[in-house]
Amino acid sequence: MSTEIPQPPHQPGMAERAIDAATDVSHTIDEVAGGLRAAVDRLTYAIEEARKPGRPLSTVAAITREAPLASLFVAFLFGIAVARRR
């Protein structure tokens, strides 16, 4: 016969739980940062494509350089129109 007392299963201590939580947060932050990097890359590519000659941003930039006050006025009116729709 054995005189050993059965031990309860190992319960993680506070330090082990804190390390696990920190590791989970670190992995989550890495995933979010990766998603943000991918989104920024896609947005950068879209802006670069739209700035090529003959594309919309190129046209808007040219008009804005030629008539900055008129462009500001049009943007203001567009903002009012969008705000009133909501």
Q: What is the mean pLDDT of residues 15-27?
A: 86
Q: What is the mean pLDDT of residues 32-51?
A: 94
pLDDT for residue 43: 95
64 contacts: CB under 8 Å, gap ≥ 6 = 71
**Pairwise CA distance, residues 56 & 49, whole Å:** 9
The residue to which tokens 């007392």 are assigned = 5
pLDDT for residue 31: 93
Does position 11 have pLDDT exceeding 90, yes or no?
Answer: no
Q: How many residues does the chain have?
A: 86
pLDDT for residue 64: 87
Angle between helices 56-66 and 68-85 (to 10 degrees): 120
Determine the number of helices (DSSP H) and then strands (DSSP E) in the chain: 3, 0
pLDDT for residue 2: 57
